[in-house]
Structure 1
Amino acid sequence: MADTLTCDVAVIGAGTAGLAAERAARHNGASTLLIDPTFNGTTCANVGCMPSKLLIAAATEAHRIAGADLFGIRVGAVTIDGPAVMGRLRSERDRFAAGTRHAIDRLDPATTLRATARFIGPDRLQLDDGRIVQARTIVIATGSSPLVPPPFAALGDRLLTSDTVWDLPDLPRRLAVVGSGSIGIELAQAFARLGVEVSLFDRGHSLIKLRCKKVHAALQAIIERDLTVHQGVAILPDRTAEGVRIRWNGDSSGEAGFDMVLAALGRPPNLDRLDLDKAGLELDEDGVPCHDRSTMRCGDSAIFLAGDVAADLPLLHEASHDGAIAGRNAAAFPAPIRTPRHVPFSLTFTDPPVATIGDPEAEGAVTGTADYGDQGRARVEGRNEGLLTLYAAAPDGRLIGADLVAPGGEHLAHMLAWAIERRLTGSEMLELPFYHPTLEEGLKQALRTICAATPIELPVDQDSGTPSGA
């Protein structure tokens, strides 16, 4: 008879979300079992945030050197050593990944199970080593994987994904990137700035699904300076002796040859091998368990989701927050502990960076725009390009969202996300100090527009009939 292990909280998956869930459950007094087939570290360290930023850092340096003439600095011929670029990327990536694995190694080995798991009941898991886990509650944190449709899978070793691109021994000469989400557009621009001939293809018409048309237009102009963009097209890739031949049709049509194809078509959640039908969960139209983001609980069950597998906001800080919420609620089950979620906030590390924060323009909202094409500090640094749009709620001008592509965008975005989360108004932001000359000063243009459109009426003093404070 198979051995049966028991615990209060079983966590499937030892990535960012799973580790946070296990830690939160344990710190709240629950006994835990953490289940993972490899315990190889997090997606961020291995194939996500860190290797992509290492490639982008190399591309940024190459682009900076190429622009030195603007400052009267003459640079001789610059050679990009592809194997050295990729070698440093992997070396640093491995160092980051080792750090996450070291944290996992510090866990109690009696509570870490190297195995895959599938449901055989709402509170029971079958491990591939034959053992069974009986848990009071279960957290699913199995992450996501790159989508590879059949036409792309047939390309064999000419196909790259966001999991495999980091293993390239050298930079390709010609690269087709399919998909203009955050991953696709980041890597397309980075490879292009490292001397690769890049073409970007997308079935849609919106890069990174940006909400503001003005910001989108600014981003598109920036991206098209480095690479060729084909939007509104369907593509058909074919393997050839020399590489890959791509034919496309739609808003434009044509065909071209490439050394490699990078499929950046999204990362669906890893749910296929869990036998969710045995868990009795209600699934949405995409096959993801329906869940409450304030608790991460799936319906009325004792099962919780955390991280990319929830298909909400596939971002590291959201995965960590998911895990903490799911683990705390799994430990406290059945008593719910509802947690307010942070303002939605995503960054794409193009140059300049793109950010989407909070709510878009809605009925009754007002907008303010800041143009970084002639902003003082940006012009000083030769980075004067991009646009920022703020959204504010009427009638008080409370900030509710922003879209931007601007120099220093990752820092501007953090400041705006914090202001939105603290429910600041445009006038309250303007009352704060802005040092001169900084990129932050560029916000004043947008904030003043919002303040002009949302004048705040002072309460009237009932005795004098004049506004209080007048």
Structure 2
Amino acid sequence: MVKRSKVEVAILGAGTAGMGAYRAARKHTDSLALIEGAHYGTTCARVGCMPSKLLIAAAEAAQDTRHADLFGVRTGGVTIDGPAVMKRVRAERDRFVGFVLEAVEGFPEAHRFRGHARFLSPHRLRVGDNHEIEADRIVIATGSRPNIPGFLKAAENRLVVNDDIFEWQDLPDSVAVFGPGVIGLELGQALSRLGVRVRMFGAGGAIGPIQDPEIRQCALDTFNDEFPLNPDADTRKIEHRPDGVAITFVDGDGDVVTETFDYLLAATGRRPNIDGLDIQNADLELDDRGTPVFDRYTLRCGDSHIFIAGDVNNELPLLHEAADEGRIAGNNAGQYPEVRAGFRRVPLSVVFTDPQIATVGKTIQQVDKDCRGCFAVGSVSFEGQGRSRVIGRNRGLLRVYGEHGTGLFMGAEMFCPAAEHIGHLLAWAAQQRMTVSAMLDMPFYHPVIEEGVRTALRDLNRRLSMGPEVVENCLDCGPGG
């Protein structure tokens, strides 16, 4: 027998965006359904941000020990206890997930529904096998899942995704990583530093989110000093074998070689969980990927009563963006038919490799398009940057972009130490629409890595068609502050 319910707002998915939407909608109505078809606990807590940073933290500890000789500190070598590494990763991961579960369990039980949701019509949902929910408004926040190209499936049971890694009881001897995106770079470098033999395969030449060609080359050279990374690999064959997975490819010398690895990690992006919703029954306009067309400021799908937030909309798959989108979508669903544009922050993303990667504001291609070519670029290499040399992390490049005439700071890309902190400073400046000269009026302490930002901004200010002449370098430290 089919059970039927009616609510004002139904939210599909209880991840970061879904919980944000629920909290926002609840300010306007208590007639709610929060529907989850899989596990409670966000992607970030279970298989994303937090467990990956735990693995990276272990890798950083190992790398710091290896490099202690630089400072005259003799350690006698590094021993990796794989089971201990993974035990801490799982324990701390479970702790973070526990906080999310507590939050969900704090929602009224009458609002919580378990089961896979599918559209029967624009206002009707089938949840599981025997429950039908009619909703005046709907928020789609079903997240995403790993995308696995078909040819990788030849690895059979040796094929893993990031979700699987955090369940390992021990570290393997070797892993082939396909996809030098955010996930592949973070996990691949961490595994390499923890003693795992890693080789990374890419397609099309991309390195993480980097768009600036000079920074991409700097990153490629740096990563290849640690493990082989070909961003445009010629992979000939993947074959499952009793002792692992054999990969045949063309190496840097043009020779066809075969290497065997314990596992093949598919870090080939994520795909939105839209395909199992019977979205065709929602009467929405879909793009060529099958995702509803929506307004990024209201999250509304066309002129409908349906909103879409978080990774499922396939725009900005980042936790802080999912939280913002959930809040905007939930508010609009709760107060519908009044729909308001929500506040969208300046883009900011960070990749927790070493050196770190960060992108702020507009990419160099977007600046070129928006400024119609009327922009300048300033840069700094961290090889000579004072504080970076002191701590032995003097590799990387920062490039900053400004508009001729207005002098506005437009964006930046970097592959450098402390990029997670530098990125925040520059994102705040971009959101405040600061000029480059105004940014140079801000205080910079000495000696800090952020002095490299000042050097890059000085270079940019000199190249812009406006702005006063300023001193080029810190006399005490040389190029880069």
2-structure distance, mates of 1:438, 1:68: 21
Deviation at 1:293, TM superposition (A): 0.4
2-structure distance, mates of 1:148, 1:246: 16
State the one-letter code of the partner of 2:336: F
Pick which of 58-67 and 201-210 moved more. 201-210
2:162 aligned counterpart, secondary structure: coil
State the one-letter code of the partner of 2:178: V
Which residue of the partner structure matches residue 138 of structure 2? 138
Indicate conservation of the 8 Å contact 1:39/1:101, yes or no.
Answer: no
Q: How do 1:28-177 and structure 2 match up within 5 A? A: 28-29=28-29, 31-177=31-177
Say whether 1:356 aligns with 2:366.
no
Q: Tell me the alpha carbon deviations over residues 412-459 of structure 1, each in whole angstroms, 9 at most, x when there is no partner.
A: 00000110010011110110110000011111111112222235489x
Q: Tell me the alpha carbon deviations over residues 269-322 of structure 1, each in whole angstroms, 9 at most, x when there is no partner.
A: 011210011101111111111100000011111111010000001000000011
Say whether 1:239 aligns with 2:240.
yes
Indicate conservation of the 8 Å contact 2:29/2:334, yes or no.
Answer: yes
Indicate conservation of the 8 Å contact 2:179/2:266, yes or no.
Answer: yes
Which residue of the partner structure matches residue 24 of structure 1? 24
1:216 aligned counterpart, secondary structure: helix
Say whether 1:266 aligns with 2:269.
yes
When residues 353 and 456 of structure 1 are mapped into structure 2, their CA distance, relative to the original with a 3 A threshold, is same
When residues 119 and 370 of structure 1 are mapped into structure 2, their CA distance, relative to the original with a 3 A threshold, is same
Say whether 1:387 aligns with 2:397.
yes
2:270 aligned counterpart, secondary structure: coil
Which residue of the partner structure matches residue 305 of structure 1? 308
Structure 2, unpaired ranges of 5+? 469-481
Moved over 3 A (4+): 249-253, 455-458
State the one-letter code of the partner of 1:289: P
State the one-letter code of the partner of 1:228: P
Which residue of the partner structure matches residue 342 of structure 2? 339
When residues 83 and 301 of structure 1 are mapped into structure 2, their CA distance, relative to the original with a 3 A threshold, is same
State the one-letter code of the partner of 2:172: P
Pick which of 298-307 and 36-45 moved more. 36-45
Which residue of the partner structure matches residue 285 of structure 1? 288
Deviation at 1:157, TM superposition (A): 2.6
2-structure distance, mates of 1:291, 1:249: 43
2-structure distance, mates of 1:5, 1:39: 23
State the one-letter code of the partner of 1:421: Q
State the one-letter code of the partner of 1:407: P
Deviation at 1:162, TM superposition (A): 1.3
Which residue of the partner structure matches residue 463 of structure 1? none
2-structure distance, mates of 1:137, 1:231: 44
Deviation at 1:37, TM superposition (A): 2.4
Indicate conservation of the 8 Å contact 1:232/1:250, yes or no.
Answer: no
Deviation at 1:40, TM superposition (A): 2.0
Deviation at 1:77, TM superposition (A): 2.8
TM-score, normalized by length of structure 1?
A: 0.95
The share of aligned pairs that are identical, in percent, is 45
Which residue of the partner structure matches residue 471 of structure 2? none
Of the three residues 454, 465, 476, the one matched with 1:444 is 454
1:285 aligned counterpart, secondary structure: coil
Say whether 1:367 aligns with 2:377.
yes
Deviation at 1:154, TM superposition (A): 4.0
2:146 aligned counterpart, secondary structure: coil
State the one-letter code of the partner of 1:338: A
Deviation at 1:110, TM superposition (A): 0.4
When residues 250 and 196 of structure 1 are mapped into structure 2, their CA distance, relative to the original with a 3 A threshold, is closer
Pick which of 9-18 and 38-47 moved more. 38-47
Deviation at 1:234, TM superposition (A): 4.2
Deviation at 1:229, TM superposition (A): 1.1
2-structure distance, mates of 1:247, 1:287: 34
2-structure distance, mates of 1:255, 1:334: 61
1-structure distance, mates of 2:174, 2:251: 22
Indicate conservation of the 8 Å contact 1:396/1:454, yes or no.
Answer: no
Which residue of the partner structure matches residue 398 of structure 1? 408
2-structure distance, mates of 1:225, 1:406: 15
Deviation at 1:129, TM superposition (A): 3.6
2-structure distance, mates of 1:198, 1:117: 40
2-structure distance, mates of 1:384, 1:436: 16
Pick which of 75-84 and 154-163 moved more. 154-163
1-structure distance, mates of 2:248, 2:279: 39
Indicate conservation of the 8 Å contact 2:378/2:463, yes or no.
Answer: no
2-structure distance, mates of 1:147, 1:38: 18
2-structure distance, mates of 1:335, 1:57: 46
Indicate conservation of the 8 Å contact 2:144/2:270, yes or no.
Answer: yes
Aligned length: 458
Q: How do 1:146-225 and structure 2 match up within 5 A? A: 146-225=146-225
2-structure distance, mates of 1:250, 1:284: 39
State the one-letter code of the partner of 2:239: D
Indicate conservation of the 8 Å contact 2:402/2:408, yes or no.
Answer: yes
Which residue of the partner structure matches residue 322 of structure 1? 325
1-structure distance, mates of 2:71, 2:333: 58
1-structure distance, mates of 2:133, 2:251: 52
Indicate conservation of the 8 Å contact 1:9/1:33, yes or no.
Answer: yes
Deviation at 1:214, TM superposition (A): 1.5
2-structure distance, mates of 1:421, 1:155: 46
Aligned Cα RMSD in Å?
A: 1.5
2-structure distance, mates of 1:30, 1:318: 25
Of the three residues 419, 426, 438, the one matched with 2:436 is 426
2-structure distance, mates of 1:47, 1:2: 34
1:92 aligned counterpart, secondary structure: helix
2-structure distance, mates of 1:322, 1:127: 24
2:459 aligned counterpart, secondary structure: helix
When residues 13 and 2 of structure 1 are mapped into structure 2, their CA distance, relative to the original with a 3 A threshold, is same
2:169 aligned counterpart, secondary structure: coil
State the one-letter code of the partner of 1:246: I
Which residue of the partner structure matches residue 454 of structure 1? 464
Indicate conservation of the 8 Å contact 2:175/2:197, yes or no.
Answer: yes
2-structure distance, mates of 1:349, 1:369: 21
2-structure distance, mates of 1:376, 1:129: 64
Of the three residues 255, 259, 275, the one matched with 1:256 is 259
Deviation at 1:39, TM superposition (A): 4.5
Which residue of the partner structure matches residue 472 of structure 2? none
Which residue of the partner structure matches residue 461 of structure 1? none
Pick which of 338-347 and 50-59 moved more. 338-347
